[in-house]
Each structure stands twice: as C-alpha cells, then as structure tokens.
C-alpha cells in the first residue's frame, strides 16, 4: 500500500466466512483488529443477495453473517467499516464491480494506491487491478487452510 494518508483494506466477505470455519479463525480476527488499530480501515464486500428476506420475525442470512463478523472483529479489539453489497446483473457484472470499487474509493476519498483487495473472485481482482488497486488472491480453504492468515500477516509486516 502507499505510504502516508488513509489506507483501506477491502476483503471479500466470503473469504472471511470461509476462514471463520477453520482452526486459525481467531488469528484472522486478531490480525484484522491489529490492522484496524494500526490505522487501516477494513471493509467487506459481498454480492448483493438475490432476495432480501424481511426481517420482521425472520433473520436474513446475509445480515446475520454480517452481524456475526462485525462482532468477532469487535471482540478482538477492532472495527469493521461494514459490508458493501455489490449489485448483480447478468450483463453488467464487470461494470458493477468496477463501479463498486470506484464508489468505495470515492467514499473514502482515496486514490487506488491506498487500497488493497483480498478476494477469491478472479473477476473482482481483475476489476480492482484495472483501477490500480493492489490485489491478492485468497484461496478458499477446502481441505487445506485458506491463505488469508498469511496475506494478513504480510500486510501487518508492511504496516510496521
């Protein structure tokens, strides 16, 4: 990331949900809290749900996972900015991804060099790269462990 000024770490919510299921999950949340306390804003992105479920008497799965992740980072001593839901569309996905990333940069008044994206979505990584945002591919855990902890540790080392 660029030195000086505000910094933003954008993480795909699904990568964090995937890492949450594995033994080093506590490390992920502690690292996110550390980065946040070091002055790095942390924002999650997720595809817009197909249907938002009314919450009166019903718990929406997307909102429940968001609440859970926010709480885990908070309990570790940090704060997530929230979740930015990227609109879906069959014919405009690339435009939606780039538009979402531009909107995020604008909301934080940041140049692309002050942001970093961690995601397992190759199209999302490509959209970020086209805009000049530093990208790191997160491998889904599957049988092995996700590389999210390794990537966060690298970012921590860079921020020292």
Q: What pLDDT is attached to residue 8?
A: 96
In a domain, 106, yes or no: yes
**Which of 75, 92, 2, 91 lies closest to 32 in space, CA to CA?**
75
Q: What pLDDT is attached to residue 21?
A: 80
Pairing of strands 83-86, 40-47: parallel
In a domain, 54, yes or no: no
Query: How far apart are the C-alpha atoms of 135 and 59, rounded to whole Å?
Result: 33
Tokens (6 digits) for 23: 């033994």
Give the residue numbers spanning the domain of 100.
7-49+59-159
| CATH code of the domain containing 31 | 3.40.50.1000
Q: For the chain, which residues score pLDDT lower than 50? A: 1-4
Q: Is the pTM of this model over 0.95?
A: no
Q: Domains in the chain: how many in total?
A: 1
């Amino acid at each position: 990331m660029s030195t000086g000024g505000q910094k933003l770490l954008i993480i795909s919510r699904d990568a964090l949900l995937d890492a949450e299921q594995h033994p080093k999950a506590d490390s992920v949340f502690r690292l996110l809290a550390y980065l946040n306390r070091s002055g790095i804003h942390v924002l999650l992105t997720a595809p817009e749900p197909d249907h938002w479920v009314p919450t009166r008497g019903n718990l929406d799965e997307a909102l429940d996972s968001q609440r859970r992740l926010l709480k885990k980072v908070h309990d570790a001593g940090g704060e997530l900015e929230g979740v930015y839901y990227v609109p879906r569309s069959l014919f405009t996905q690339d435009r939606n991804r780039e538009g979402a990333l531009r909107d995020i940069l604008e909301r934080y008044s940041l140049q692309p060099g002050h942001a970093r994206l961690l995601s397992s979505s190759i199209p999302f990584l490509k959209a970020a790269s086209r805009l000049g945002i530093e990208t790191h591919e997160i491998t889904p855990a599957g049988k092995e462990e996700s590389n999210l902890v390794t990537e966060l540790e690298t970012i921590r080392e860079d921020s020292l």
